Structure 1
Amino acid sequence: MKHRKLGPFNVSAIGLGCMNLSHAYGPPVSAEQGERVLLTALDQGVDFFDTAALYGFGANETLVGQVMKPHRQKFTLASKCGMQGVDRGDGTQVRVIDGRPETIKKTCEDALRRLKTDVIDLYYLHRWDKQVPIEDSVGALSDLVRQGKIQTIGLSEVSANTLRKAHAVHPIAAVQTEYSLWTRNPEIAVLQACRELGTAFVAFSPVARGFLCGPLDIAALDAKDIRRTMPRFAPANYAANLKLLPAYNALAQEAGCSPSQLALAWLLHKGEDILPIPGTTSVDHLLDDLAAVDVQLGADLMNRLEALINPNTVVGDRYNDQANSEVDTEVFA
């Protein structure tokens, strides 16, 4: 496994996004399967693991804590606050965005307990709460750094302008945003801002929420699968997007790799400061993803990939109106 710089850390060039094990793409996997995926990743040289208070409303942090506590010195741990589940009073939880300093600090205490650790290496503000100045939320995170409860601060789904405001309060070690061949919004401004500030860029959903792994049967998706709310997966849009895959798969064959490896290799070739964190519930898929570190892509193939899949050829927005209102990322006209 190759390594890259993230703030004070040297982490595996491909990390593991742990969300899929507990959240968003269907029922959670069993504890045994979650353990199998996490420990296989560690065994294969992955030393950058990403979770959040939101995922499974704490269940994902709990899983990571239980499985990874004996290996805590072997990896860099990232989690997130500012978006979490709140009890409705009837035994169910609802997702809320809350960036108030007191909530951030309470969420961190809960996370430390669930993760069974004394310190979180990288702690992100999962979403900027637009009711709270970013300076106030980052100020609370900087208090946690001074208290030794977190080591570095990250932001998720923010614009270049918000990043600069936050960085003026405390250095931002990483920005995490969706980035893949079919979601290129970071290229508008925030990726360049990260480079100017020395902030690493962590790319989530690097295989386009499974689209670039091969055709998905969208009719068979779980009723609570978040892709059911995403315009690109609406039946008519998805049918149009499927037309991109034959040429894409041909490029993967030309590169001598799997489709998912091609998507990850493209990101790795976009800059040494970019760290993709694919997620999976399958050990086989995990091993396939990690082999992308050895895939070499020439400039001509990179250009043909980008000409094939880009904002002008993909049909549908990445988020619905509600989700778009919750993020601060730049958008294409």
Structure 2
Amino acid sequence: MNYRKFANTHIELSKIGLGCMGMSAAYGEDKDDKESIATLERSIELGINFWDSADIYANGTNEKLISQVLKNNRDKIFMATKFGFRMPDNKGDSFIASGIYVDCSVKHIKEAVENSLKRLKTDYIDLYYAHRIDPNIPLEETIEAMSQLVKEGKVKYLGLSECTADELKKAHTIHPISALQSEYSLLYREVEKEILPLTKELGITFVPFAPLGRGLMSNKLDINSLSSSDFRKNLPRYEGEYLQNNQKLTAALEELALSKNVTTAQVAIAWVIAQSDNIIPIPGTKKRTYLESNAKAVDLNLSSSDLEKIEVILKKYPNVGPRYSQRENKFIKKS
């Protein structure tokens, strides 16, 4: 495994992390805790030391699952989790149910961190993100409350997810923001305009989630096999003309991948990594097979010619579609 420096620290994180959401939530009922635990254990063997979760993933169940491996390997893992999304009465599936909202109040932050610490069975969280910016709470209050957690030793570093460039700048003046998480992939490059350059300027690690476009870039995803409870069933990219475009795009990428004796998924991850040296993507998986394949992407060096070929493919198939439905879009603000 290759490593990159985390923010303005001496901490070395694996060049890719492990997104743990799908082990417990979002992608249907096909859950296998035994295989997920084996995947977590295998990631340690591979040298992947950066795991990502959130308290909303199956209402804390994902954090509980992770704890089964984390508790005996605490010194080997840089653990990130998030707070902010809530369900009415803390019940339901946040990825398909209605009523989800954002709460970054001081009161909730204090409660959320204690609950995450308990579920993870740890005394501290390495990286604690605000999952979204709360439109009803002054940003200063949220960041100051998060900063207090650092002073108390419950959290080591602070992060934000899906914020605007102005929000990141403002937050960073209140307390150092060490990581910014957002979607970034061959299907979604909006962050290249402001967010990615700003993180580079401020010495902030940029953490792309969904670097494989939630499976579309693997060229192995059978859309028809997705269950009705799979979050992706309601995303525009998986429908109609957008799906047709994305399948053609991925097929073209596969030709490039085959010429290099690698997979399309490895090309997609390697492309993200190649965009800046402050990037650490967190492709998610719940299976060892995919984990091992993803890990090999860190050794794939795309040449300038390869990158040019990818740009040509992207320009040929530009109709990738919106990344979210109206339900999810209401939680995203544009810079």
What do residues 132-187 of structure 1 show as CA deviations (whole Å, max 9, x unaligned)? 12221111100101111000000001111110011111000000000011110110
Task: Find the partner of 1:271 among 265, 273, 276.
Answer: 276
Secondary structure of the structure 1 residue equivalent to 2:160 = strand
What do residues 106-142 of structure 1 show as CA deviations (whole Å, max 9, x unaligned)? 1000000000000000000001111112221111100
Go from structure 1 to structure 2 and tell me whether the alpha carbon gap of 1:91 and 1:126 turns closer, same or farther (over 3 Å shift): closer
Q: TM-score, normalised by structure 2?
A: 0.94
Greater CA drift, 78-87 or 223-232: 78-87
User: 1:316: Cα distance to partner?
Assistant: 1.4
Tell me the amino acid that sits aligned with residue 72 of structure 2: P
8 Å Cα contact 1:215-1:242 kept in structure 2: no
Please identify runs of 4+ aligned residues in structure 1 that moved more than 4 A.
88-94
**1:241-320 alignment, distance < 5 Å:** 241-309=246-314, 313-320=318-325
Distance 1:105 1:326 in 2: 22
How many residues matched? 330
Give the aligned CA root-mean-square deviation in angstroms. 1.9
Go from structure 1 to structure 2 and tell me whether the alpha carbon gap of 1:270 and 1:285 turns closer, same or farther (over 3 Å shift): same
Task: Find the partner of 1:206 among 202, 211, 223.
Answer: 211
Go from structure 1 to structure 2 and tell me whether the alpha carbon gap of 1:86 and 1:149 turns closer, same or farther (over 3 Å shift): farther
Distance 2:308 2:259 in 1: 14
User: 1:311: Cα distance to partner?
Assistant: 10
Match of 1:235 in 2: 240
Go from structure 1 to structure 2 and tell me whether the alpha carbon gap of 1:88 and 1:150 turns closer, same or farther (over 3 Å shift): closer
What do residues 10-51 of structure 1 show as CA deviations (whole Å, max 9, x unaligned)? 110111000010011112623211111100111111000111
Distance 2:316 2:62 in 1: 32
User: 1:89: Cα distance to partner?
Assistant: 7.5
8 Å Cα contact 1:77-1:122 kept in structure 2: yes
User: 1:201: Cα distance to partner?
Assistant: 0.1
Match of 1:182 in 2: 187
Distance 2:117 2:286 in 1: 24
Distance 1:88 1:264 in 2: 34
Q: TM-score, normalised by structure 1?
A: 0.94
Tell me the amino acid that sits aligned with residue 266 of structure 1: W
Percent identity between matched residues is 38
Unaligned stretches of 5+ residues in structure 2: none
Secondary structure of the structure 2 residue equivalent to 1:216 = coil
Distance 2:283 2:91 in 1: 34
Are 2:114 and 1:109 aligned? yes
Distance 2:270 2:211 in 1: 10
User: 1:240: Cα distance to partner?
Assistant: 2.6
